[in-house]
Amino acid sequence: AQKITQTQPGMFVQEKEAVTLDCTYDTSDQSYGLFWYKQPSSGEMIFLIYQGSYDEQNATEGRYSLNFQKARKSANLVISASQLGDSAMYFCAMSQREGSSNTGKLIFGQGTTLQVKP
């Protein structure tokens, strides 16, 4: 069964430092997508970064990068130069097909709460 595991319920980081949020996934499919979303206390889900299973390069979006290690089935999020506004819950998610249908439903991990200290 497909599964996303985030083993860090909560993390602290000092402002301006880098932080890595861990994510491992389990799938037997060859085609899938990996995502990170940010959920601040206001509740909205903000898309941060995407990595396709066939992408050879690690995805980067500004201060966010995804450390994709396919053999280890890990997709860790690295946030560089943390800012106070980065304090939020972060979710790792995976999308994959279901049978022969073109569905990309997302399966989410339990989330990691990140607190940035001034």
Partner 1 sequence: DSGVTQTPKHLITATGQRVTLRCSPRSGDLSVYWYQQSLDQGLQFLIQYYNGEERAKGNILERFSAQQFPDLHSELNLSSLELGDSALYFCASSSRWLGEQFFGPGTRLTVL
Among 28, 30, 100, 101, binds partner 1 (CB under 8 A): 101
Interface with partner 1, residue 73, by CB under 8 A: no
Interface with partner 1, residue 32, by CB under 8 A: yes
CA 47, chain centre distance (Å): 10
Interface with partner 1, residue 110, by CB under 8 A: yes
Q: State in angstroms the smallest separation of the CB of 36 from partner 1.
A: 11
Among 1, 30, 41, 44, binds partner 1 (CB under 8 A): 44
Helix/strand/coil (H, E, C) string of the chain?
A: CCEEECCCCEEEEECCCCEEECCEEECCCCCEEEEEEEECCCCCCEEEEEEECCCCCCCEECCEEEEEECCCCEEEEEECCCCHHHCEEEEEEEEECECCECCCCEEECCCEEEEEEC
Residue among 87, 89, 78 nearest 21 (CA): 78
Q: State in angstroms the smallest separation of the CB of 107 from partner 1.
A: 7
Residues recorded for the chain = 118
Q: State in angstroms the smallest separation of the CB of 95 from partner 1.
A: 5
Among 3, 72, 105, 117, binds partner 1 (CB under 8 A): 105
Interface with partner 1, residue 70, by CB under 8 A: no
Sites of contact with partner 1 (CB under 8 A): 31-33, 35, 37, 43-47, 50, 52, 91, 93, 95-98, 101-108, 110-111
